[in-house]
Amino acid sequence: MSVTLRDKFFGCICGAHIGSAMGAVVEGWMHERTEEVFGTLDKLVAYEHYNNGWVRAAGTTEDGIDRQKLMITAIMEKGGRITAEDLRKIWVRDINPLAPGGIAEPFEGELLKISKSKIPARDIGRYCDYNNLVSFARSCHPIGMINAGDIQAAIEDAMEVGQIYHYTNSRALRWACVTSVGIAAAMLPDATVESVLKAIFDNLDERVAFGGADEVHRDYAGMYIVDELKRALDVTKDCEDFRELRAKLDTLYYGVGMPYAMAFANEIVTKGVCVFRMCGGDVKKALITAVNLGRDTDCAAAVAGGLAGALGGSGSVPTEWIEQVDQATAEHRFTNSKRTLRGNADGLYGAFQNKLASYRRYAAQMDIE
């Protein structure tokens, strides 16, 4: 049975938001602790972050989804693709000043202050102290969605809009391109897991893309993006469940002892792609797999769930999970938007249809021969 584009949009949003809410409960835990406490975490649970006394209702999303909501608002209001300046306007208008330390990471408060100055939006990310984090790569799903099927536009917009979080041409932006390209490719009518991976490999090899290969384009281990992805996919190729998968991934990613040690973009996006390859378009299976991996579980689930939903739609998502996230959003203290999951997805879908209509008008106007 084919999946409609509208349902792919809804599936992508459900995967990202529900995955973030479910994974936030055990964010930063090693998987041994998750297993000891939950056995298998397969439901939405109340939790607390930042030790601020706010026990968040089960289904409450976290900082990465609030970043995503700002992008969604900007795209909805513009009715199409956005720039870093478009996103900055929404930041200044919509971010709750109490959000940093309440729902957002503390360093985002400093970026918000800078965004209210006259410096270009593309320069804001230069002032982030943590530039290789997954901040944008785990939340840039709307960039892939507004560019559904258009791989090059997904790359261009990720590299443009992401500069509000990261410095120009940074590793973090390149890893965000993996997320945005994967989602854009998964939105194609005949997409498969294999076609999505091929789109990533064909378009994001730094020996060809991003102006050619040099040492700057390698990460700390001397690897290019596609090489790191292929290494992990090869290591995990025979895995059939999350316990096998996390054991293999633990041999590749185990950094500790530094700020945000578990939240670097290369680790999280790679894990998300591996989960997607194992689970395909089954959002429920992808989320349960990702949140039981240990380490930065909410971000890994957002990437994996978004990719799965973009491919398979929302059919595998339990209705009670959708209802629980919507209810928690309605009660959210600090979020910049209380739109429902459907409201976010249909807002983006409407913007995409508006973009297509503008392209059709342009083509009709110029096709005069």
Output Rg (C-alpha) for the chain, integer angstroms.
19
What is the per-residue pLDDT for 209? 65
Give the residue from 41, 29, 16, 20 showing the smallest Cα distance to 348: 16
CA 191/CA 232 separation, integer angstroms: 22
93 C-beta neighbours (distance < 10 Å), count: 11
Cβ–Cβ under 8 Å, residues 296 and 134: yes
What is the per-residue pLDDT for 49? 84
What is the per-residue pLDDT for 275? 98
Q: What pLDDT band is residue 97 in, cutting at 50, 70 and 90?
A: confident
Q: What pLDDT band is residue 125 in, cutting at 50, 70 and 90?
A: very high
What is the per-residue pLDDT for 182? 98
Crossing angle for the helix pair 319-330 and 341-366, to the nearest 10 degrees:
100
Residue 216 pLDDT exceeds 90 = no
- For residues 130 and 196, the model is more confident at 196
* C-alpha distance from residue 78 to each of 44, 83, 85, 142, 354 (Å): 33, 10, 12, 13, 10
SS3 257: coil
What is the per-residue pLDDT for 100? 84
Query: Among positive and negative, which fits the CA dihedral 332, 337, 339, 345?
Result: negative
What is the per-residue pLDDT for 368? 67
Average pLDDT, integer, range 328-356:
97
- For residues 30 and 52, the model is more confident at 30
Q: What pLDDT band is residue 102 in, cutting at 50, 70 and 90?
A: confident
Q: Give the range among 26-35, 211-220, 316-325, 347-356 with minimum mean pLDDT.
A: 211-220
What is the per-residue pLDDT for 257? 93
- Bridge partners for 47 per DSSP: 56
Q: What pLDDT band is residue 284 in, cutting at 50, 70 and 90?
A: very high
Question: What's the chain's average pLDDT?
Answer: 94
CA 66/CA 165 separation, integer angstroms: 14
181-190 pLDDT, tens digit each: 999 999 999 9
Average pLDDT, integer, range 224-243:
97
Q: Give the range among 22-36, 214-228, 282-296 with minimum mean pLDDT.
A: 214-228
Q: Give the range among 204-208, 274-278, 342-346 with minimum mean pLDDT.
A: 204-208
